[in-house]
Chain A
């Protein structure tokens, strides 16, 4: 598959009084057309900032973002707006991301108007098509967001994101606010749309079970950096970074066969304004060596037993 997105050494810093927060600090990855890359990590790891930076909803501090071969960090505002026709986003909160004063039809048609696509009739037809595609009743267009449940509102947000037929969808915790029984409906919908539309996705979530279900590959983030990236099967069958191992072991399961020996980490994620020296995880790592507190391990292909893995750890 051709490369759709290539992110190289991307950095996003936030200046706060007295400190610079390195929310994203040197992240590199590629995403092929039609591929789903899961970005997983705990609060403050920078996964949401990463998603927003790729869309330039937040401006990068450094690095490059090549989308379809073009470095979009160099584009001016108007060119960037045109580019976003191919890059869309769905957020966690289906309550906050829909304008309560607009009817669903107006919400879904807006991207077509912004990009000057079609006339009133073809737009209306396209909106109906999208509402059916995401599983909403045909009369939804004339109703307001508050008339819908959380799951249905997320369907509206997905319809709006897909109306322009983007090649890339950034899904930032799209099912986290939903109940279990509704989650599965939205996960199924995204999986189905992905196949039907050949959509590539950056699927950002803290929920490892959801990430595992939807992703082809997974990148694990800790304090602004990717610590390990590999295929979904590789990550779950054989996590190599000590943080990945601890993260997977912490997930409670209903099926006793799925439980891993729990690795309890001490403390919590350090303040991103004051990241530890060397490997940012060394303060909580049970394998930390003297070198880990002085030098930062690069994310690189490293030999592991029976193969290699892209991991940022001196154990390998």
Chain B
């Protein structure tokens, strides 16, 4: 990566109580780039997002090692005031559940305007007119009439648009989107991804998209990092990763998808289940479920190789 990264996560390790949930996670995002972080439930992708924002509930969550550099600033060294100045300003966030992320007792106009007043020092009136423009931008028509509505009066898709408006109010350089379309129907998902994609180009914003949906990542992201049981196991440009997965977990995951198989044919499956964080063992965490494991895999943790196609596997495809 020639350009200086906008975000660099270096050897990040996180524990919940005494149990490690994230181990040695490293990745970079260049300005304007979109990185997808994919994996199944419990793989640590949301913990990664919360750690970057320093929003991990503590206790029980603790960052036990590594660095998070945003635009050259070490996020882990910032005090609460400095963090607040970055959150919602230079880094925007959207989450899966717009209903629980929005405050039910404030109008959507107030909630969007809040960050303009806080970060930009706007007065109420300027914030209100800027908010109307933002609603327009995210495709909520007749924006002025919508400003005084409450979250419960909106549909799921509209609420997610409001969340996007809040996240984008200060034109952030990085948007962290954690399962932004998982609660939405597929036709609404298409609208929201189209919207985030267009705004990304207009604002030159980088995106960290966290999802379990491989199709979404394949269509939306420049690069993809695959997580399994608290570690990144593979990372590559999206087209390459989906065309030629090399880690045996990525490969198996893609093969099990119904869409990758002829209708009616028996689907390949991954035997067993993801080990609990306490039972992760010494070697490659995927080894017990891997059809290609060699003796070394059970004892020795494979290192993550260098870009452009990073890989943590002793016996890759």
Chain A: residues with CB nearer than 8 A to chain B?
Answer: 42-43, 149, 151, 179-185, 187-188, 191-192, 206, 208-210, 212-214, 232-233, 246-247, 249-256, 258-259, 262, 264-265, 268-269
Q: Judging by beta carbons under 8 Å apart, are B212 and A187 in contact?
A: no
CA A251 to CA B181, docked complex, whole Å = 12
Task: Give every chain A residue within 8 A of B103 (Cβ-Cβ).
Answer: none
Q: Are A183 and B256 in contact (CB under 8 A)?
A: yes
- B40-58 vs A, CB cutoff 8 Å, 1 = contact: the mask equals 1100000000000000000
Using CB atoms and an 8 Å cutoff, list the residues of chain B in contact with chain A: 40-41, 155-158, 185-191, 193-194, 212-216, 218-220, 239, 242, 252-254, 256-261, 263-264, 266-270, 273
In the complex, residue of chain A having the shortest beta-carbon distance to the beta carbon of B43: A179
The answer on a CB contact under 8 Å between A212 and B263 is: yes
CB pair B191 A264 closer than 8 Å: yes
Asked if A185 meets B269 with Cβ closer than 8 Å, knowing A247-B186, A254-B218, the reply is yes
Number of residue pairs spanning A and B whose beta carbons lie under 8 angstroms apart: 117
> A208: which B residues are within 8 A, CB to CB?
186
Residues in A with CB closer than 8 Å to B267 are: 184, 187-188, 213
Q: How far is the CA of A133 from the CA of B94 in the complex (A)?
A: 43
Which of B187, B191, B216 makes the CB contact (< 8 A) with A42?
Answer: B187
Evaluate contact between A252 and B187: CB separation under 8 angstroms.
no
Give complex CA distance A258, B259 in Å. Answer: 9
A256 to B240, CA, bound (A): 11
Asked if A180 and B191 make an inter-chain contact with CB atoms under 8 angstroms apart, the answer reads: no
Collect the chain A residues with CB atoms within 8 Å of residue B214's CB: 180, 254
Q: How far is the CB of A100 from chain B (nearest CB, A)?
A: 20
Q: What residues of chain B lie closer than 8 Å to A250, measured between beta carbons? A: 186-187, 189-190
Contact partner of B219 (CB less than 8 A), chosen from A183, A191, A253, is A253
What are 26 A-to-B residue pairs whose CB atoms are below 8 Å? A42-B188, A43-B185, A149-B273, A179-B40, A180-B212, A180-B256, A182-B273, A184-B258, A184-B267, A184-B269, A184-B270, A191-B266, A206-B186, A212-B258, A212-B263, A213-B263, A213-B267, A249-B190, A251-B259, A252-B216, A252-B219, A255-B259, A259-B219, A265-B190, A265-B191, A268-B155
> Quick check: B212 and A254 within 8 Å, CB to CB?
no
Measured between beta carbons, the chain B residues less than 8 angstroms from A179 are 40-41, 212
A181 touches B253 (CB 8 A): yes
